[in-house]
Amino acid sequence: MPDLFEDYSNAAERTRAYDEMFTPGEVPREAYAQIAGALGELTLADVTARADSMARTFLDRGVTFDYAGEERPFPLDIVPRVITASDWDIVERGVAQRVRTLEAFLNDVYGNMKVVADGVIPRQLVTSSAHFHREVAGFDPAGGVRVMISGIDLIRDEQGTFRVLEDNVRVPSGVSYVLENRRAMAKGLPEAFGQQQIRPVEEYPRRLLSALRKTAPPSVEDPTVVVLTPGVFNSAYFEHTLLAGLMGVELVEGRDLICRGNRVYMRTTAGEQRVDVIYKRIDDEFLDPLQFRSDSMLGCPGIVNAARAGGVTIANAVGNGVADDKLVYSYVPELIRYYLDEEPIIPNVDTYRLEEPESREYVLDNLDKLVVKPVDGSGGKGLVIGPDASREELDTLRAKVLADPRGWIAQPVLQLSTVPTMSGDKFGPRHVDLRPFAVNDGDDVYVLPGGLTRVAMKEGSLIVNSSQGGGSKDTWVLADGAGGPVERAPERSSIRLRERTSVWPIDSNWQDRQSESDQ
Give the amino acid at 129.
S
- Measured CA to CA, the distance from residue 32 to residue 34 in angstroms comes to 6
Q: Which amino acid is at 491?
A: E
Q: Which pLDDT score, from 0 to 100, does residue 55 have?
A: 87
Query: Using CA of residue 339, residue 205, residue 34, residue 421, what is the dihedral sign?
Result: negative
Q: If you count them, how many residues does the chain have? A: 519
Give pLDDT, residue 496: 33
- Report all structural domains of the chain as residue ranges with CATH numbers, in order of start: 3-349+415-477 (no CATH), 351-413 (3.30.1490.270)
- Rounded CA separation 27/135 (Å): 57
pLDDT at 281: 97
**Count of other CB atoms within 10 angstroms of residue 499:** 9
> CA 27 to CA 270: how far, in whole Å?
63
Distance CA 311, CA 142 (A): 7
Structure confidence at residue 135 (pLDDT): 92
pLDDT at 488: 52
Closest CA to 42 of 192, 180, 197, 184: 192
The confidence score (pLDDT) of residue 486 equals 57
Say if residues 411 and 350 touch (Cβ distance below 8 Å): yes
* Distance (Å, whole) CA 149 – CA 378: 17
Reduced to 3 DSSP states, what percent helix, strand and coil does the chain have, rounded to the nearest 5?
A: 35, 20, 45
pLDDT of residue 56: 87
What is the model's pLDDT at position 497?
32
Successive 10-residue mean pLDDT values, the chain, 519 residues: 78 89 89 92 92 87 72 85 97 98 97 96 94 91 92 96 96 94 90 90 97 94 96 90 97 97 95 97 96 95 95 96 96 98 97 95 96 84 90 96 95 94 91 97 96 92 78 94 50 34 38 43
CA torsion sign for 70, 182, 86, 329 is positive
Count CA atoms closer than 13 A to 268's CA, side-chain side.
15
- Whether residue 316 is preceded by a cis peptide bond, meaning omega within 30 degrees of 0, is yes
The pLDDT value recorded for residue 483 is 40
